[in-house]
Structure 1
Amino acid sequence: MNVLIITQYFYPENFKSNDLAFELKKKGHNVTVLTGLPNYPEGKIFEGYGVFKNRKQVVNGVRVVRSLLLPRGKGGGLRLFINYYSFAFFASVKAFFMGLNDKYDAIIVHEPSPITQYYPALLMNKLWKIPVYFWVMDLWPESLSIAGGVKNKWILNYYEGVIKRFYKNSEKILITSQGFRKSINQKGNFDDKIVYFPNWAEDTISEGNKNFPIPPLPEGFKVMFAGNIGEAQDLESIMKAALELKDKKEIKFILVGDGRKMPYVKEFIDEHRLQETVFTMGRFPVEAMSSFFDKADVMLVTLKDDPIFNLTVPAKLQAYMSASKPIIAMLNGEGADNVLDADCGFTVSAGDHKSLAKTILETSALSQETLNQLGQNSRKYYENNFRLSTCISNLENIIKK
């Protein structure tokens, strides 16, 4: 097949769109990616890229076409709005000329957010009837209201109308969580279009180099949180749990990653003198995660108690499972159900920091044999449900049908 992937985020940015494109290419398809100039998450155009630099590339056999956009900067509301719509506009112009010059069998829109990434695909669908497969990883306008803090009814109603149009023009709507189905069907009768298409873990994590050089970690029972340190991840409750366990010096919280809440985390550590039990490692490349995970005793996944997050399965959950690690989950909904179904760890309600602290303390007292068994259960569940090659094979079948 000749496949076009449209996404605002692509290599060297670290998103699932990378695996999607490279794996489809490995399976023998011609793959083109229409994307923007890389600038996530720092908000500045990456070195080596620009208006006249690397606008067209071939990466691992995948043709990459980059449209102009205004970088996201520090992520303020107006700047993000311009970032989103500048990509949508310039990518649509690119899409028009690409549609004139090339014939595509399918378009896949990778949408972690924003939904405006769909506009170039909509243009090509209308002009050349190319079927669009909409991979929904973030629900709009719910995400705009809850995570973005937008309360204006006119704006929310406008984006509800936009997303309805996108759903209507999609051949299939691919969802990463079964919980998304209800929200999508509330916007129209789209059930026959919805297909469950879960996240996977990168092979660099599940089969990566455990000797990748990383900083030394403290001795003790290591509770590791890896990934985005943002609003959705409820760092307030994690820090409160760490404070509850302040006197349990053998328990070490290891935070690997960065994000908008990192200044809050560092201030909390200083204010409550948690330097002996909470450690912020900073951001590392995905290649380093296998080495970090190997040294953890248990992995921590959290989301705030919110209707939209209760429908979400965090992508880090699959990564933790692929690394054969026991998991403590402080979240509600399908993510917690996955941990229970896999019998790979323990769950507490979203926002319940006291139960989180209690569960961590109890888990630290388990034998290594028990922890190893929970880790094996994690890996088994991953093998059966979240392998990259299996997911992409399922996608091939969805498109071919």
Structure 2
Amino acid sequence: MSEPLQQRLCQRTGMPPQKIAVIPQYCEDFYAVPQPDAALQAQFGGRFNLVFTGTFTPAQSLETVITAVQDARSRGADMLHLLLVGDGMSRAALEAKVKELHAEDAVTFYGSVPATDIPKFTALADALIVCLSDSPDLGLTVPAKVASYMAAGKPVLASMDGAGNAAVAAAGGLSSPACDAAALADNLLALTRMDAAQRAAMGQSAKEYYLAHYRRSELLRKLEHFILEGRV
């Protein structure tokens, strides 16, 4: 699913790289179709909405994002708002972190929604955040949400190491090391200070990267060719 995994498999098996196809996880097509939602716009419009969608677990290191958001707000990004869409085992701890930082105005826990509703939230977003903890194994692959975020055509920020960090950087996003709240806060501050045209260009770059690397039909074609012909 990634070049780091290809390299690890070659090291463990002695297989030559040309015998191993790198085919990342594809993105379902509906993530690329915006769904502007008037109710969400009425509720959250007028702020700079940084959106995360997915499961809340220790692997996501969402406390890093909460800390970075509060830091960026204290340095001038006062309209920055973190919208957390989802649920999971870390929610109670994250809610406690928000209270500890007195960040209730900066962070909203929206709860879980069907996957097909995610484009409503990415359409609302001014930027999308993907994050992981600093475990070496987590850096071996590109999280599925990276592809779905790029498909939305919005600026993408990464707080992670390894393949995911590299993919976001290659797509024109802003990347920082895993669990580095200060570096993420710097990127958030920089993003909020960009004008609309600069952010739109970032989103377009992300969309083009999705089209080149993560479309379902193209990746299935590569898989079929590799199985039938031994090549991508």
Q: TM-score with structure 1 length normalisation?
A: 0.53
1:368 and 2:196 are equivalent in the alignment: yes
3-state SS of 2:24 partner = coil
Residues 213-252 of structure 1: matches in 2 within 5 Å?
216-217=43-44, 219-247=46-74, 248-252=77-81
Q: Which amino acid aligns with 1:377?
A: S
Residues 300-379 of structure 1: matches in 2 within 5 Å?
300-343=129-172, 345-379=173-207
3-state SS of 2:224 partner = helix
**Superposed displacement of residue 386, structure 1:** 0.9
3-state SS of 1:304 partner = coil
Q: Which amino acid aligns with 1:288?
A: D
CA distance in 2, matches of 1:189, 1:350: 31
Runs of 4+ in 1 over 6 A off after TM superposition: none
Residues 247-326 of structure 1: matches in 2 within 5 Å?
247=74, 248-326=77-155
1:195 and 2:21 are equivalent in the alignment: yes
- Bigger RCO of structures 1 and 2 (CA < 8 A, at least 6 apart): 2
Residues 179-190 of structure 1: matches in 2 within 5 Å?
179-190=4-15
**Superposed displacement of residue 306, structure 1:** 2.1
Deviation track 1:149-185 (CA, whole Å, cap 9, x = no partner) reads xxxxxxxxxxxxxxxxxxxxxxxxxxx1111123223
CA distance in 2, matches of 1:209, 1:367: 23
Q: In the alignment, is the contact (CA less than 8 A) between 2:69 and 2:188 conserved in 1?
A: no
Q: In the alignment, is the contact (CA less than 8 A) between 1:222 and 1:297 conserved in 2?
A: yes
Higher alpha-carbon Rg: 1
Q: In the alignment, is the contact (CA less than 8 A) between 2:34 and 2:122 conserved in 1?
A: no
1:205 and 2:31 are equivalent in the alignment: yes
Q: Which residue of 2 aligns with 1:177?
A: 2
CA distance in 2, matches of 1:197, 1:397: 11
**Higher deviation after alignment, 176-185 or 212-221:** 212-221
1:398 and 2:226 are equivalent in the alignment: yes
3-state SS of 2:194 partner = coil
For structure 2, the 5+ residue unaligned runs are none
3-state SS of 1:196 partner = coil
CA distance in 2, matches of 1:212, 1:197: 37
Q: TM-score with structure 2 length normalisation?
A: 0.89
Q: Which amino acid aligns with 2:23?
A: F
More helix by share: 2
3-state SS of 2:217 partner = helix
